[in-house]
Amino acid sequence: MAIPKVMGTEIEYGITVKNDRDFDPISSCVLLVNAYREDHPGRILWDYDQENPLADARGFQVDGEKYTPNQQENIARNKTLVNGARYYVDHAHPEYSCPEVTNVRDLVLHEKAGERIVEISRREATLLLPAGSEILLHKNNSDRKGNSYGCHENYLMDRRTSFKQIVEHLMTFLVTRQVYTGAGKVGSENRAHPCAYQLSQRADFFETEVALDTMVKRPIINTRDEPHADREKYRRLHVIVGDSNMSEYTIYLRNGVTAILLSMIEDGAVRRDLALRDPVRAIKEVSHDPSCRRELQLENGKKLSAVQIQLEYLEMARKYFSGKNVDPITKDVLSRWEHVLGRLESDPMELRREVDWVIKKALIEGFMDRKGLDWESPQVAMMDLQYHDTRPERGLYFLLERQGRVERIVGDEEIDRAVIAPPEDTRAYFRGQCLKRYPAEVFGVNWDSISFGIGSEPIKRVLMGEPLKGSKAHVEDLLTSSPTARDLVRNLRA
């Protein structure tokens, strides 16, 4: 039986500084991350010892050196937050990794909380710049200079499910799901065929089917084998092919439908032959077709559109859940998935309240009609970028949200709470509570461990290999009976 799909996202934001001719992205990111301050006074390390980004899911170790910053650089580049998230500098981008959650509604909540956290730090960091300068952040995936940065999704899977089986059944799904997960983009990049408008910001940048790298020769399926949990039991599927989305509805479908498909793979419920003849070509063909009608060549000789392929997956999902006791969120995801695919079949523009690429396309086309512009206009390219602006008063998505022109999944008060409170049903609760209660004694943190420095004693590392342990139900009594970190460590060993 499929294991619970604990999940999370890692969002890299585009960054620049207005009126700064000497803009340095790395120092700007460091300034940004350190401008976000919580109440606790801790100087906490990120525990790189627990990471191994060179392990490949196909069963081998890739040659290379693991980067480990010195202590000062580590503290400057990393923040572990009381809501269980990690906020840090990744290469030349600020990145927000949300805490582990057990359902897609909570994922939407915590990804949206990340938007608010980076915007708070953007405002604070801008106050430290010379007059006239301003940090600008965009939740998008391309800088229009040939560089792409990612939205990475993570899903907990049973290690007994072979990686070969995952690749076999997931490839076509990831290529075709962009009909409802794409963030929309004016034009093309990375030597892709020219187009006026496409579904995905990321599709042009994928050049191979399966590989470990995330920055060069990007693969549709990434092979990183870094479970952040008990390696004997779990794998963490690291999905790098998706867009960074503004629409809550789109995020909800992006992760919710993918989690369903992964459970089906674990249970052997994907039994139809939907293998594509050329997935790398197909991912661009799907993205470059806003009509969603272009047929893709399958290995078995058939031709189906991306929407028709997704309908095949939906039909298998309906059969998979038939007769089962299905939780309300999964029922809702299935219903919305069916709704979206039906609209995509008839007229994609009917989804101008739900799906990012359609919302943006409708907005831009309305502007073009009023101003007499075409897709080559610089103003149109600027609108594309401004849709993703994190400033609530300037971002076009947030304008539509205030006007009630997009569908919501969560409420603003819930998002505000998620900025400061971890989810209560995963180990993120224990991590966040330790930071809140014992900040001066927390020495280092990783997703699956937390280390305490108590006086002159050796560092005490608490392992958290089970993502569903450390929840409020598991540890509330333990925390209540542990007024100090010393008490906590003693009680854990009792």
> What's the per-residue H, E or C state across 309-329?
HHHHHHHHHHHHHCCCCCCHH
With cut-offs at 50, 70 and 90, classify the pLDDT of residue 55: confident
Residue among 47, 90, 356, 425 flagged as catalytic: 90
> What gap in Å lies between CA 287 and CA 269, rounded to an integer?
27
- Dihedral angle at the C-alpha atoms of 385, 388, 392, 394, nearest 10 degrees? 10
pLDDT of residue 367: 97
pLDDT of residue 67: 73
DSSP 3: P
Query: What tens digit of pLDDT does each residue of 193-212 get?
Result: 999 999 999 999 999 999 98
> What gap in Å lies between CA 122 and CA 127, rounded to an integer?
9
Amino acid identity for residue 416 in this structure: D
Query: What tens digit of pLDDT does each residue of 460-491 get?
Result: 999 999 999 999 999 999 999 999 999 999 99
Q: Within its chain, how far is the Cα of 12 from the centroid? A: 9
With cut-offs at 50, 70 and 90, classify the pLDDT of residue 41: low
Sheet of 442-446, strand order: 45-46, 442-446, 449-452, 460-463
Reference 110, options 457, 417, 349, 329; nearest CA is 417
Q: Is the pLDDT of residue 64 over 80?
A: no
Q: What phi, psi does 204 have (nearest 5°)?
A: -65, -15
> What gap in Å lies between CA 434 and CA 438, rounded to an integer?
5
CATH fold of 7-38+81-416 reads Creatine Kinase; Chain A, domain 2 (3.30.590)
Q: pLDDT above 70 covers what percent of the chain? A: 99
> What gap in Å lies between CA 344 and CA 339, rounded to an integer?
9
Q: Is the pLDDT of residue 352 over 70?
A: yes
With tokens 């299935």, the residue in question is 334
> What gap in Å lies between CA 104 and CA 259, rounded to an integer?
8
**How many CB atoms are located within 10 Å of the residue 486 CB?**
16
DSSP 203: G
Beta strands in 168-302 (DSSP E): 185-186, 197-198, 206-211, 218-222, 234-239, 295-297
Q: What phi, psi does 464 have (nearest 5°)?
A: -130, 65
pLDDT of residue 217: 85
DSSP 201: S
pLDDT of residue 150: 87
Q: What phi, psi does 272 have (nearest 5°)?
A: -100, 145
* Mean pLDDT, all residues of the chain: 95
- Ordered by start, the domain boundaries in the chain are 7-38+81-416, 417-493
Q: Within its chain, how far is the Cα of 460 from the centroid? A: 31
**How many CB atoms are located within 10 Å of the residue 350 CB?**
15
> What gap in Å lies between CA 451 and CA 443, rounded to an integer?
5
> What gap in Å lies between CA 56 and CA 63, rounded to an integer?
10
Reference 148, options 217, 61, 235; nearest CA is 217
Q: Within its chain, how far is the Cα of 244 from the centroid? A: 7
With tokens 């939205």, the residue in question is 151
With cut-offs at 50, 70 and 90, classify the pLDDT of residue 49: confident
Query: What tens digit of pLDDT does each residue of 366-397 get?
Result: 999 999 999 999 999 999 999 999 999 999 99
Question: Do 103 and 85 touch, CB atoms closer than 8 A?
Answer: no
90 catalytic residue (yes or no): yes
Q: Is the pLDDT of residue 15 over 80?
A: yes
> What gap in Å lies between CA 193 and CA 191, rounded to an integer?
7
Global pTM reads: 0.97
CA distances from 225 to 9, 49, 57 (A): 16, 15, 5
What SS3 class is residue 135?
Answer: strand
CA distances from 258 to 62, 120, 219, 270, 452 (A): 27, 31, 17, 13, 36
